[in-house]
Chains A and B, each alone.
Chain A
Amino acid sequence: MAKKKKINLTIDDTPISVDEGTTIMRAAEKLGIDIPRLCYHPELSLAGSCRVCIVDVKGMGYFMTACSVAVWEGMEVQTNSPEIRQARRDIVELLLDNHPQDCQTCERDGRCELQNLAYSMGVRTRLFEGRRKEFPIEATSHSVVRNPEKCILCGRCVRVCAEIQGVYNLSQHGRGFNTVVGPAHLGNMDDSVCIQCGQCINACPTAALLEKPSTDAVWRALADPELHVVVQTAPSIRAAIGEGFDMPPGTPATGRMITALRRLGFDAVFDTNFGADLTIVEEAHEFLTRLKEGPLPMITSCSPGWISFMERFYPELIPHASTCRSPMSMLSVLSKTYYAEKLGLDASKIFTVAVMPCVAKKYEAARPEHADVLERPYTDAVLTTRELIWMIKCYGISLATLPEGEFDAPLGLSSGAGDIFGSTGGVMEATLRAASKLITGKPGYRVEFTEVRAVEGLRELYVAVGPQNIHVGVANGLQNAKTLLDKVVRGEEEFHVIEVMACPGGCIGGGGQPYPPPGVEILDPDLLRKRAEALYAIDHDKKLRESYDNPAISELYDTYLDEPGSAKAHKLLHTHYAPKLPRGIR
C-alpha cells in the first residue's frame, strides 16, 4: 500500500504531522486534546449537525467543525479561546432551550451526554427559555420507547439503524423546529420494520430512546409470597454488569452477581448458559439431520433481533433458521415444566425473570410462539443489564464487596461452551465443539476454534472437523450479516452453518448493555473486545468445556426429554417462524 502523504499543521500552537485525510478532531486526539462532540460517532458516517466541536482555523473567518474538516498543509488550529468556549456554550444552551427540565427524574440522569456536555461547557443558568417541543411518548413496541421531546436531532440513532444494522427504520421527518425522528410516517414502532435490537437506545445521547421498563413487574413478583420467582442471567451479563459499579470493562462478576440476585429475593438463580448448552445439543442434532436431508445452511436462531430481521427482510431464509428456541426461552420453558415437576410446584405460581443484554428479548418473551397452551408466556419478565444494575443499586447492594455465589441446580450448571454464547462466534465455536465430538466420536477432539471469533464483524472460512470440511459464516451487526445472507440467497456460496448476531460484537454489544463510561463510545471495538475476553477467560478456566459433558444436561435427557431431537424435546424446545409485515427493504 502506498504510504499516505503527511500533512503538517499546528493545533494550539503545537506542531503535528498526520496522514492526509485526517480530520481536525482525530489530529487533536493525537495531542491529547479532546474536542467536545455530540453528533459525532467514530463508527458512523459524519453528520456535522450539532456544531459542538467547532474550532478556530486561522484565516477562515468562521468556526469550523473539527469532526468533518480534513487537515491541510500549514493549517493553524485553535481549539480553545474565550470566543470558541462562548460559542460552544451558546450552541449547547440553544440545544437545552427546548429540552425538558426534568434531569432529576430522567432515566439518563448522570449518564446523559447532553447533561455532561452542559456541565463541561460551563452552562450554569438557562438563559434562553424557548418554545418546548410537545410530543407524546410512543411505547407501542415491546422493547423500544420513543420520547421525541428529549430528542436533540443528532441523528445517531438514524445512522446506527441504517449503517450498522441495515434496517433503516428511523428517519428525520418534517423540518426545522418541527423535525421529529421516527419510523416511516411517524407511525408506531410496533407497526414498523424495527427489529427491536435497541442499538438506537445505546446510540442516543439523551433519553429520547429507552428500553421499555420491566422493573416494576419484577419488584411486584419478588414481593408476592405466592410466587416462586426464578431468574436466569445471559452469558454476557457477567462480563458487563461490573461496569455499572465502576469496575473496568472486562471484569467478570459472575459470583457477585449471583449473590446480588439472591439478596434481591429471587428464589432460584439459574444460568442461561444451561439453556445455551441445551441449545447446542439440540442444534448439533438438528445440524447432523440437515447435513443429510437439508436445507443447508443452518442459521442460528438465538438472536431475537436477527429473527425479526429475517422475518421482515429475508423471509426466504426462514427454512434455514434453526428451529431451536433461544437459550433464554428453553430455560424458561424448563423452569415451568421440568423444574416445576421436579419440585412439585404449580407452574402458574412460577414467575420467570430473564436478565438479558438485549431489549429484543422483551419482544421474544412476548411472542406467541413462546407461550404455553393457555397463552401464558414462558418468560414473564425480561430485564436488561442496565435495569438489573439499577435494581441492585436501588436495593442498596454494593456489588463490588459481595461474596461469590453459585448458580442453583439443576438449571444453573453449564459448560464453557455456554459462556462464549455471549460473544460473536461463540455459538459457532460451541457448535463446532459439539459437532467435532459427534462427527469424530472422540470427546475433546478439538475444543478451541479461535478462527471463528469474528471480532471484525464478518468471517467466512472452512473448518476441518475429522473427515468433514465445514464451511462456516459468522456475522455480527446486521449490515455485515446482509453481505453473507445475500451470497446465500443468490446461491453464490454454499455454507453449512451461519451464525448471525444482530448486535455488533454479539450479545456483549447488545442494546441492553451498560452505557459506556464517559470517554468511551458504544461500539468501541476495544470495549467489546474486553467484554469478550472476560467470557473466553471464564470458558478457558472451566473444567467443563463441552455442552455434551454437562451432567445436568445428561440428567435432563435421561429423566425427562429422552434424547436430543425426541418428540418431547421438539414440543418443548423448538419453534417455527413466519414472514412478517411490513416488509423491509434490504
Chain B
Amino acid sequence: MSTTPDVHQQVEAQSREILGEDIVAYIEQCHADPEPSGKLIAVLHRVQAKFGYLAPAHLDAVSQLLRVPAAKVSGVASFYHFFRLTPRGRHVINLCLGTACYVKGADQIAQKLRDELGITFGETSPDGMFSLEATRCLGTCGLAPVMIVDADVHAEVTPDQVPLILERYIREARKERA
C-alpha cells in the first residue's frame, strides 16, 4: 500500500494549526466516543468560545479532524442562532423585539438602526464597530423600548436618539485610538 499523498496530509496538519492544541485535544477525546460526530455541536461551542465566531476555515478544520463532512458542519453551524459565522463587532447592540418593546415602537428603532449602520440583524458593520442583534423580552418592559449596547441599557429609546447613542461609542473608540 502506498502512503497517503502529501497534499491530503497537509490538510490535517493545517487543520491542527488553525484550531490550536486545546481544541485538537478535545476532538481527540471525542474520538473515544462511540459516535464522535455526535459531538459536533460541543466542538463548535468550544471553537466559537475561543475565536469569537466560526470562520469557514474553522469549520473546515473541524470537519477534517472530527471527520464529519464539511457540508454537514457548515449546515449545522448555520442552523443554530447561537453560532456566529462572521466576526463580532467591537460593540454588540441587542435590540429587544419582545411584545412590549414592539408595541412601544421597537420596529422604528430597528429601522433606524438598519439605516444608520447599513446592516441588518445578525450582521456586523463593515468597519467592525457594531454587531446588530435582536433579542426577545429582557424582562424590563417598564423601560420599553429597550436597547442594550454591550452592558449598557438604553431605556425608552426613540428613533432620534439612535444616532446620538451610536455616536457616543464611535467617539469613545476614537478617543481610545488617539
Q: Chain A interface (Cβ within 8 Å of chain B)? A: 162, 168-175, 182-187, 192-193, 295, 315-316, 318-319, 489, 491, 578-579, 581-585
CB–CB A489/B11 < 8 A:
no
Which one of A170, A175, A489 lies within 8 Å of B71 (CB-CB)?
A170
Residues from chain B with Cβ under 8 Å of A185 in the complex: 56, 59, 70, 74
Q: Does B20 count as interface, using CB distance less than 8 angstroms?
A: no
Which residues from 30 to 65 on chain B have a C-beta closer than 8 Å to any C-beta of chain A? 56, 59-60, 63-64
**Complex CA–CA separation, A295 to B2 (angstroms):** 9
Report the Cα distance A491→B2, complex, angstroms.
11
- Please tell me which one of the listed residues B64, B72, B74 contacts residue A186 in the complex, with CB atoms under 8 A apart: B74
Most chain A beta carbons < 10 A, residue from B7, B60, B63, B71: B71
Query: Which of B5, B60, B68 is close to A579, meaning CB atoms less than 8 Å apart?
Result: B5
B60 touches A582 (CB 8 A): yes
The range of chain B's interface size is: 20 to 34
- Taking CB atoms, residues of chain B closer than 8 Å to A183 are 70-71
Given contacts A175-B79, A581-B7, A581-B11, contact A491 B70 (CB under 8 A): no
Cβ–Cβ contact A319 & B11, under 8 A? no
Contact status of A579 and B1, CB under 8 A, knowing A184-B73, A185-B74, A585-B70:
no
Question: CB distance B5 to A318 under 8 Å?
Answer: yes
Q: How far apart are B40's CB and chain A's nearest CB, in angstroms?
A: 12
A-B residue pairs in contact (CB < 8 Å), sample of 15 = A162-B69, A171-B71, A172-B75, A175-B78, A183-B70, A184-B70, A184-B73, A185-B59, A193-B69, A193-B70, A315-B5, A316-B1, A316-B5, A491-B1, A579-B7
Q: Which residues of A contact B29 (CB under 8 A)?
A: none
Q: With A184-B60, A583-B64 in contact, is A168–B4 under 8 Å at CB?
A: no
B84 at the binding interface (Cβ < 8 Å): no
Whole-angstrom CA separation of A316 from B3 in the bound complex: 6
Contact of A168 among B11, B60, B71 (CB under 8 A): B71
Known: A184-B70, A315-B5. A583 touches B78 (CB 8 A): no
B8 to chain A: which residues have CB within 8 Å?
Answer: 315, 579, 581, 583
In the complex, A582 Cα to B5 Cα: how many Å?
14
Which of chain B's residues has its CB closest to A169's CB? B71
Cβ–Cβ < 8 Å partners of A174 in chain B: 78-79
- What 19 additional pairs, Cβ within 8 angstroms, besides A171-B72, A315-B4, A581-B11? A168-B72, A170-B71, A172-B75, A172-B79, A173-B74, A173-B75, A175-B78, A183-B71, A184-B60, A184-B63, A184-B70, A184-B74, A295-B2, A316-B1, A579-B5, A579-B8, A581-B7, A585-B69, A585-B70
Q: Smallest CB-CB separation from A194: which chain B residue?
A: B71
